[in-house]
Amino acid sequence: LTALAKVPLAQAASLAQNQPAQNQPAQNQPAPRMVPSPQAPLIVCIDNSRQVREQMGQVLTAHGYRYQSIASSVEALQKILEMRPALIFIDLIMPQISGYELCSQIRRVSRLQNIPLIILTSSDTVLDRLRGKLAGASEYLTKPATPDQIVHAAARWLAAAV
């Protein structure tokens, strides 16, 4: 008994030579990493958790955004002024300066007032959301946010800012 299968010509030729087809990923090879364009929007994440900052960077750069992170809420305002990001993710619960206070500080600087501020935090009460809105947050996401939630929120606010 013989089975027949339809395969693309390039793949069939490769199989005959025992090589991977050109349009097929080689097994055990890492996927190519997307390098953001210098013109891509810069997104900043302010969070004292290194793990969160690294995960955000992986998600956002994989979708073509430029990315920078800031660990210290004390240094955040000065760094934001230097970086000029298109969008900022901010954790609420940080030592020294809270995310609420940081949102308020950013909103008081005229050239930063139109930057979308997305709160990304584990704190999810009605009062937290209200305080975030009053501090100037554009949106409120609860940790753990999925990569899709992060990317869709960023895309939505960047499209609205254009």
Instruction: Render pLDDT for 118-160 as a digit per residue (tens, 0 to 9).
Output: 999 999 999 999 999 999 999 999 999 999 999 999 999 999 8
In a domain, 6, yes or no: no
CATH code at position 128: 3.40.50.2300
Number of domains forming the structure of the chain: 1
Asked if residue 15 is part of any domain, the answer here is no
pLDDT of residue 38: 80
Q: Is residue 21 part of a domain?
A: no
Order the strands of the 66-70 sheet from edge to edge. Answer: 66-70, 42-46, 87-90, 117-121, 139-142
Residue 28 lies in a domain: no
Tell me the residue range of the domain where 65 lies. Answer: 35-161
The answer to whether residue 43 sits within a structural domain is yes
3-state secondary structure of 72: coil
3-state secondary structure of 121: strand
Range scoring the smallest mean pLDDT among 2-16, 28-42, 52-66, 78-92? 2-16
**Whether the predicted pLDDT of 42 surpasses 70:** yes
Does the pLDDT at position 37 exceed 70? yes
To which residue do tokens 């929120």 refer? 153
Q: Does residue 50 lie in a domain region? A: yes
- Whether 16 maps to a domain, the answer reads no
Tokens of 153: 């929120």
Residue 22 placed within a domain: no
